[in-house]
Amino acid sequence: MPAIQEKKPARGGSASGGKTLVSRDGTNIYYEIYRPAQDFPSGSGEPRRSPASALPTLFFVHGIGGDVDAWQFVRPFLSAQGYGAVAMDLRGHGHSDHPKHRAAHNIERIEEDIQAVMDAEHVRKPILIGHSGGAVVAAQFAAHHSDLLQKLILINGSYCPPSWLASPLLRGIANVVISVGGFISPPSYKKWHSPYPLGKTHKEFEIYGLARTMFYNSLRSYLYTSYELINIDLSAHLEKISIPTLLIASEHDGIFPVHIQQHMQKKIPNSKLIVLKDTNHVSVLNNPKGVAHAMLEFLRF
């Protein structure tokens, strides 16, 4: 079993404490554990319905450039319904190590990290939840390890690169730029968690926010993780996902449009698609209540 170090979270929150374990290849992976709350957020008018002991654990996987705090606005709705949760910083993100080499950012390594955290915390049959790039990782993990999971939730995810990189020529150019950029990138300034805004005004592309995230969070890791996602094709793997699956898409998603999740829904057996209105790619920030309610509806059955 990986060695685990206890660590206080870098900021306040509902986490019982941050932990770090050493993954299979020697990378330190940071994660946090969240206990169920006793009441629903003030003013919501929605009482807690389910006994915590009867519910599976939620396992959150954030997207590229994110960290565990990307879920901070969704978690309270789920916690108040009796769900405990685990969220991890992907390698190269947040308080996890930022590896120097591109191979250390392979999705297969991230899959190993997920399983290492599950094993360390004795999490059995969790609900695996991923957003954006984290949804791609979660889909691949489920295709390989459906037997380890109870259900799967993919939010604003994909099975292929963004449409603007569909051309092999453009993807080849992007790969060269990423490889060179990652090689010459300086190490991260420090390990941190990003301050995330809440509300409909959060845009998909924010130059200042992106620059700030990469400066603190490691430009190298951002590029190398992006390299993995622009070269992935899960077309042949979707049918291997054998657990109930919820796909949450956003009406105004400019990165992974609705038609991508519609295709995934057709390919994944026993899957359901919900499209959130008036929401863009970062739905966990600009419509967390809609995301949480879609999840709860799915989890209750």
| pLDDT tens across the length of the chain (301 residues) | 555 655 544 443 445 569 999 999 999 999 999 988 755 444 455 545 555 457 899 999 999 888 999 999 999 999 999 999 999 999 999 899 989 888 999 999 999 999 999 999 999 999 999 999 999 999 999 999 999 999 999 999 999 887 777 778 887 887 788 787 777 777 666 677 777 767 655 667 666 666 666 666 678 888 888 888 888 899 999 999 999 999 999 999 999 999 999 999 999 999 999 999 999 999 999 899 999 999 999 998 8
Q: For the chain, where are the E strands, in sequence order?
A: 4-7, 15-22, 28-34, 58-61, 85-88, 127-131, 151-155, 245-250, 271-276
Q: Where are the domains of the chain?
A: 4-299
Burial letters 179-195, b for 16+ CB under 10 A, else e = eebbeebeebeebbbbe
89, containing H or E segment: none
Q: CB neighbours of 300 closer than 8 A, spacing ≥ 6?
A: none
- With H, G, I as helix, E, B as strand and everything else as coil, classify residue 241: coil
Q: What is the pTM of this model?
A: 0.87
User: Domain 4-299 is of which CATH architecture?
Assistant: 3-Layer(aba) Sandwich (3.40)
